[in-house]
């Protein structure tokens, strides 16, 4: 007896649809998982696991310090008790720390093996197809806040410094011509991002200063990618060496270098110039390193040349938490912020500005004055959230992060003043710190200054 409903059969001329291509499957997955999932990558698993272990050990130390203070029955003010808990209590805390590290070590080995197996098959394919801005942004924030710890602990989440094009790092050990995907220009445009940011974030709301200026200047744009949580002077020294290698291996003669830096990136650029000048003088050269001799113009966008009040406020919080031994352990959370952030208290540029002391202990602006690079045209652009730069709010808050005077290089100490001509200064009203990356007024003044 025939079935009441028969399954329709394809006609002889019909052909079954082919399975979707890998790119289509990956794109479909990307839409399904959403931006949060796209921020994670299998290669980062070990880094997040290590960071979790470090956080667990740190919280255990904090709880033990509070426990030790409470059982010591000391006053509400003054110094806290020294040392750790003892007896059975101390044994419990030591066991928690030891077990956490043991589990972390085993997990690290397991994840390492897992990544080696999964990365060539699934992850490598996904990395070529799935968008990565979310992952880059997350790593940039982690590096900005804890980058010095990530670097010192060998965490794979730590960002190595590189010059990138379209999010891909240039390999300076290989010929560069094939990596550029376009003819190399004798004019190099180097763009340097700020704290907790990355090179992809130069593109904002459909605008990229780098692409705009590259077309106007007939230049090759290169975007620095770096760990913004390290000391500014450490990044400056590495950048100076990186630019030396770049100029030496550039496919054509590098006749001119132009730097455009946003926020902390300006401090890194100034530090690199200072290091290059010192290296050249020590080598008894003509007063300029190879790349520094080709540097013609530098533009600073919202750079805190003399620091930012938010970091000074962070130090006041540290001091307040230290007034009582019962809340002093919580100061460890604030003091975990990176060396890059503490350098923003007054705008530290040199090793001498922080070496030889606790980086959290800088109470006043005792930096060694660092002049602007000689023979280089310098331009500064600042933003203010108000409509006029004459009020107290505009001068104190500036763009919301950097005060106006700091962004323009003004200082009460004549030795620290940056002598930038008035014609090379510009203030954008009604804009914040990040608007400097895409504001039409900023774009226009950049073209006027550089092109």
254 domain residue, yes or no: yes
Q: What are φ and ψ of residue 388, in 5° steps?
A: -140, 145
Residues 6+ apart with CB under 8 A from 123: 41, 42, 43, 115
Beta strands 207-208 and 203-204 are: antiparallel
Residues 6+ apart with CB under 8 A from 445: 381, 426
* Structure confidence at residue 445 as a pLDDT band (50, 70, 90): very high
* Structure confidence at residue 361 as a pLDDT band (50, 70, 90): confident
CA atoms within 13 A on the CB side of 293: 15
pLDDT of residue 88: 75
203 domain residue, yes or no: yes
How far apart CA 261 and CA 302 sit, in angstroms, is 9
83 domain residue, yes or no: no
404 domain residue, yes or no: yes
Reported as a single tens digit per residue, the pLDDT across 264-280 is 999 999 999 999 998 87
Mean pLDDT value of segment 97-105: 68
Which of 35-49, 275-289, 418-432 is modeled with the greatest confidence? 418-432
248 domain residue, yes or no: yes
115 domain residue, yes or no: no
Instruction: Look up tokens 């400056």; give the residue.
Output: 236
pLDDT of residue 81: 57
Percentage above 70 pLDDT, the chain: 68
Residue 250 has pLDDT above 90, yes or no: yes
DSSP state of 206: T
pLDDT of residue 86: 64
Report the DSSP beta bridge partners of residue 163: 224
Residue 182 has pLDDT above 80, yes or no: yes
Mean pLDDT of the chain: 80
pLDDT of residue 230: 98
Q: Which residue has the higher pLDDT, 21 or 422?
A: 422
Q: Is the dihedral of CA 307, 309, 313, 316 positive or negative?
A: positive
* Structure confidence at residue 446 as a pLDDT band (50, 70, 90): very high
pLDDT of residue 203: 95
pLDDT of residue 133: 84
Residue 128 has pLDDT above 50, yes or no: no
pLDDT of residue 404: 95
Q: Is the dihedral of CA 187, 192, 198, 204 positive or negative?
A: negative
Number of CB atoms found within 10 A of residue 439's CB: 21
235 domain residue, yes or no: yes
Mean pLDDT value of segment 2-30: 46
CATH assignment of the domain containing 180: 3.40.50.1820
Residue 28 has pLDDT above 70, yes or no: no
Its domain, for residue 385, covers 162-308+367-450
pLDDT of residue 162: 97
74 domain residue, yes or no: no
Report CA-CA distances (Å) from 394 to 305, 405, 429: 17, 10, 9
pLDDT of residue 97: 64
Residue 8 has pLDDT above 80, yes or no: no
pLDDT of residue 93: 56
Residue 157 contacts residue 142 (beta carbons within 8 Å): yes
How far apart CA 304 and CA 320 sit, in angstroms, is 25
Residue 21 has pLDDT above 60, yes or no: no
pLDDT of residue 181: 82
Q: What total number of domains does the chain contain?
A: 1
Residue 51 has pLDDT above 90, yes or no: no
Q: Which residue has the higher pLDDT, 15 or 62?
A: 62
pLDDT of residue 400: 92
């Amino acid at each position: 007896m025939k079935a009441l409903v028969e399954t329709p059969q394809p006609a002889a001329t019909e052909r079954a649809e082919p399975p979707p291509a890998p790119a289509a499957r990956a794109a479909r997955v990307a839409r399904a998982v959403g931006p949060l999932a796209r921020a994670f990558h299998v290669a980062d698993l070990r880094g997040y696991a290590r960071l979790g272990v470090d956080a667990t050990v740190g919280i255990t130390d904090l709880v033990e310090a509070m426990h030790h203070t409470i059982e010591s029955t000391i006053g509400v003010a003054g110094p806290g008790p020294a040392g750790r808990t003892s007896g059975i209590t101390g044994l419990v805390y030591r066991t928690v720390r030891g077990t956490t590290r043991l589990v972390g070590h085993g997990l690290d080995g397991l994840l390492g093996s897992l990544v080696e197996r999964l990365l060539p098959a699934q992850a490598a394919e996904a990395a070529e197809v799935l968008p990565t801005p979310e992952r880059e942004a997350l790593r940039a924030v982690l590096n900005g806040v804890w980058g010095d710890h990530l670097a010192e602990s060998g965490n794979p989440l730590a960002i190595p410094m590189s010059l990138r094009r379209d999010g891909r790092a240039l390999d300076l050990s290989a010929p560069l011509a094939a990596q550029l995907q376009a003819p190399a220009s004798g004019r190099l445009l180097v763009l340097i991002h700020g704290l907790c940011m990355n090179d992809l974030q130069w593109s904002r709301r459909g605008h990229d200063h780098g692409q705009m200026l590259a077309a106007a200047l007939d230049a090759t744009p290169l975007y620095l990618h770096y760990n913004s949580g390290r000391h500014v002077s450490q990044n400056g020294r590495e950048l100076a060496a990186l630019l030396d290698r770049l100029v030496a291996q550039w496919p054509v003669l590098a006749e001119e270098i132009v730097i455009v830096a946003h926020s902390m990136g300006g401090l890194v650029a100034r530090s690199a110039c200072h290091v290059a000048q010192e290296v050249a003088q020590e080598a008894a050269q003509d007063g300029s390193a190879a790349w520094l001799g080709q540097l013609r113009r530098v533009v600073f966008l919202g750079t805190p040349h003399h620091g930012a009040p938010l970091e000074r406020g962070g130090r006041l919080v540290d001091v307040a938490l230290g007034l009582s031994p019962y809340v002093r352990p919580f100061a460890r959370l604030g003091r975990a912020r990176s060396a890059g952030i503490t350098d923003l208290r007054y705008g530290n540029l040199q090793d001498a500005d922080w070496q030889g002391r606790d980086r959290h202990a800088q109470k006043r602006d005792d930096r060694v004055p660092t002049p602007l690079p000689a023979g280089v045209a310098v331009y500064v652009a600042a933003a203010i959230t108000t409509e006029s730069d004459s009020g107290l709010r505009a001068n104190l808050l500036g763009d919301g992060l950097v005060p106006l005077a700091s962004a323009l290089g003004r200082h009460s100490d004549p030795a620290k003043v940056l002598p930038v001509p008035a014609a090379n200064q510009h203030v954008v009203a009604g804009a914040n710190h990040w608007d400097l990356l895409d504001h039409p007024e900023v774009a226009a003044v950049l073209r006027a200054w550089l092109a």
